[in-house]
Amino acid sequence: MSKTIGMTQKRDIVVTENLQMIYTVGRVEVPALRGVDMTVKEGEFVAVMGPSGCGKSTLLHLLGGLLVPSAGRVCIEGVDLASVGDAARTELRRKKIGFVFQRYNLLPTLTAEGNIELARRIHGNGHGAKLDVRDILGLLGLERKLGHKPSEMSGGEQQRVALARAVINRPSILLADEPTGNLDSENSQMVLQMLQDLNRKYLQTIVMITHDPDAASMASRILEMRDGRILNRVKNLYYAIEPTRG
Amino acid sequence: MLKHIYANLVQRPTRTLVSMIAISIGVVLILVSVGLSYGQLNDAAERTRRVGGDIMVQPPNASLFFALNSGTLNERIRKVVEEVDGVESVAPILAKFISDKFHLVFGIERESFEKVNSTLRFVDGQIFETPDEVIVDTMYASSGNLTVGDELELLSRKFKISGIFEQGTGARVLMSLDTLQEMNGTPDKVTMFFARVKEGASVDEVFERIQKRMPSYKITKTSELQEVMSSTAPGFRQFLSVMVFVAVVISFLIILLAMYTTITERTREIGILKSLGASKTYIIQLIIKESLLICAAGVMLGFVLTFVTIQLILVTFPTMPVYIPGLWRVAAASLATGGGVLGALYPAIKAAQLDPVRALGYE
């Protein structure tokens, strides 16, 4: 694996324009996003920070095609999710997006290997580059947990399995919703380090939502949100060296 | 997907087992009902056919199931049948149903019976000579561990077994017509007549002549007994239809309930699958295949339980005929599975339509 110093031309993976989301609760309209404009380039590791209720999770769900925006555009690799149907959003989610959740969200009836295999099966055979289940579990230090069910693993281990599941199909973008929110500091650090490794080694594009400034500091760029808007963009100096695909 | 389905089923073993048992009850219900109905029907038809003769004469509105009739035909009618051109001989028979042992006794007139019958084969002993003697068939003898010379109590009267004949002709027990008429309290009455047609005469023509001569009586060709019985058996089709309907409804409701509670419990899992990019079709398939697996296991269990149930019935009623046509086995499996799949359809569609964000937030 090699690293190159200096700027390289990167394509846009995520582009949002005036992205708005309004929830209707009874007769009351509650705006969650009030016009978000953002761009994430290939290979970027972007952290989105902000207080509870500022619209971070809604933004992540919109980026993942789990929600349809009330107005504006959200494009993933050029496909506007607002203008396509449910089936197309599902297809895009299957082929291009990986999710990591705060609560791990592993299927309790399946083993670690089973959870990852399931993601591969849903993705389908022969579509794009994929990682080997054992390789990825090895990379995440989970070789000995292959046959374990979520209830037999610690939170940190579960989150690493969730991470493996999210990247097994080499998605264009990894969306992480407070991935360290339920972990102790040691496991948090481990998971964050893995995210950074994935970003650096495999040029994995990552958008991570977090409350934790330490977690955000692992990203190449930090976006701060408040009241449904992005306030400013912070360049993280940690990422002075541009990552390249390994 | 199969691994996932199997893991789900194993994760909730009690619910899976209860669902399987419910499906199997539907299968048992269909197969045992069919087995008993067809068993009785085929057995009755075959036994009646083997009494002999070509034409059977019964009173108006009589049933072909002799257990439902008593002696209502005057013996003097025999003369009318004998006078029909082409009739060689007529044998009167009184049928009596022994409810506690679930079998028929035929009262026969020895001479006329031997004229129309050609199938009675003795494995031991001989036909009765006195009013206190009876002959029994091989199944009756083996189920009661009876041999020639043994005493047999029937309708509170003691008889001696004079012979044992190969099963399949008439009733399980045959005795003198006069004796049975006396015991039944119906002297000069019989249940039916069997008429043998003269050699060379056309059965169809003689049949038409008897019909013309006795227009209100029930006249049946013995060669058509099985067909006529299955089409005219009282409530036969309706009974089987109800059993099938009940079985399908059980399968439908139990799978509906099981899958509905499953998807409610697994709302979050469905959200996870959606976040992984599982399509609606994938989720519907997952639920349907899960129900199919339960149904398949339930059908297998149903076959085993049907076998056990039939063995128990045969232990209790050794002479009870049971016959399950092969097509009915396929039908029972298909109907139980079909009901189950239909029951899974609504929960499956409901699961596929879940909002992924709400599903992921489900506690």
Is B202 in the same domain as B151?
A: yes
Which domain does A136 fall in, by range?
42-69+83-239
Is B23 in the same domain as B85?
A: no
Ranges A201-205, A214-218, B188-192, B232-236: which has the least confidence: B232-236
Judged against a pLDDT cut of 90, whether residue B180 lies above it is answered with: yes
Is residue A245 in some structural domain?
no
Is residue A177 in some structural domain?
yes
pLDDT (0 to 100) of residue B233: 66
pLDDT (0 to 100) of residue A242: 46
Ranges A24-38, A75-89, A92-106, B90-104: which has the least confidence: B90-104
Q: How confident is the model at residue A5 (pLDDT cuts 50, 70, 90)?
A: very low
Is B112 in the same domain as B146?
A: yes
Query: Which tokens is A77 given?
Result: 């690799």
- Give how far Cα A29 sits from Cα of A225, A238, B178, Å: 20, 40, 96
Is residue A5 in some structural domain?
no
Q: Where are the alpha helices (DSSP H) in B162-235?
A: 177-184, 203-213, 225-232
Is B187 in the same domain as B303?
A: no
Taking an 8 Å cut-off on Cβ atoms, the answer to whether B7 and A165 are in contact is no
Going by the DSSP 8-state scheme, the letter that residue A183 receives in this structure is S
Is residue A126 in some structural domain?
yes
Is B65 in the same domain as B209?
A: yes
Is residue B352 in some structural domain?
yes
Q: How confident is the model at residue A241 (pLDDT cuts 50, 70, 90)?
A: very low
Is residue B261 in some structural domain?
yes
CA of B266: which chain A residue's CA is closest? Answer: A107
CA of B2: which chain A residue's CA is closest? Answer: A118
Sheet strands (E) in A141-189: 173-177
Q: Which CATH number is A167's domain given? A: 3.40.50.300
Task: Say what percent of chain A tops pLDDT 90.
Answer: 49
Q: How confident is the model at residue B223 (pLDDT cuts 50, 70, 90)?
A: confident
Judged against a pLDDT cut of 60, whether residue A92 lies above it is answered with: yes
Question: B280 CA to chain A: closest CA distance, Å?
Answer: 8
pLDDT of B305-333, one tens digit each?
Answer: 999 999 999 888 887 889 999 999 999 99
SS3 B124: strand
pLDDT of B95-115, one tens digit each?
Answer: 888 877 778 899 999 889 988
Is residue B114 in some structural domain?
yes
A vs B, Cβ pairs < 8 A, gives 69
Which domain does B12 fall in, by range?
2-40+236-360
Is B149 in the same domain as B198?
A: yes
**Predicted ipTM of the assembly:** 0.84
pLDDT (0 to 100) of residue A246: 37
Is B87 in the same domain as B181?
A: yes
Is residue B19 in some structural domain?
yes
SS3 A40: strand
Alpha carbon distance B58, B280 (integer Å): 64
Question: B338 CA to chain A: closest CA distance, Å?
Answer: 27
Query: Which tokens is B212 given?
Result: 């013309």
Is B249 in the same domain as B297?
A: yes
pLDDT of A147-161, one tens digit each?
Answer: 899 999 999 899 999
Ranges A37-51, B241-255, B342-356: which has the least confidence: B241-255
Contact in structure between A167 and A174 (CB atoms under 8 Å): yes
Is B292 in the same domain as B334?
A: yes
Is B195 in the same domain as B73?
A: yes
Of B269, B277, B357, the CB nearest to A93: B277
pLDDT (0 to 100) of residue B144: 87
Is residue B46 in some structural domain?
no
Is B140 in the same domain as B281?
A: no
Query: Which tokens is B144 given?
Result: 């009661």
Contact in structure between A158 and A106 (CB atoms under 8 Å): yes
Query: Within an 8 Å CB–CB cutoff, is residue A108 touching chain B?
Result: yes
CA of A121: which chain B residue's CA is closest? Answer: B1
Taking an 8 Å cut-off on Cβ atoms, the answer to whether B279 and A91 are in contact is yes
Is residue A11 in some structural domain?
no
Judged against a pLDDT cut of 70, whether residue A7 lies above it is answered with: no
Cβ-Cβ contacts under 8 Å, B10 against chain A = 109
Is residue B25 in some structural domain?
yes
Is residue A31 in some structural domain?
no
More confident residue, A98 or B223: A98
- Give the residue-averaged pLDDT of A119-133: 69
pLDDT (0 to 100) of residue A125: 55
Is B64 in the same domain as B203?
A: yes
Alpha carbon distance B347, B354 (integer Å): 11
* H/E segment holding residue B122: strand B122-125
- Pairing mode, strands B173-176 and B103-108: parallel
pLDDT (0 to 100) of residue A8: 57
Q: How many domains does chain B have?
A: 2
Is residue A19 in some structural domain?
no
Is residue A47 in some structural domain?
yes
Q: How many domains does chain A have?
A: 1
Is residue B190 in some structural domain?
yes
Is residue B47 in some structural domain?
no
Q: How confident is the model at residue A233 (pLDDT cuts 50, 70, 90)?
A: low
Alpha carbon distance B279, A94 (integer Å): 9
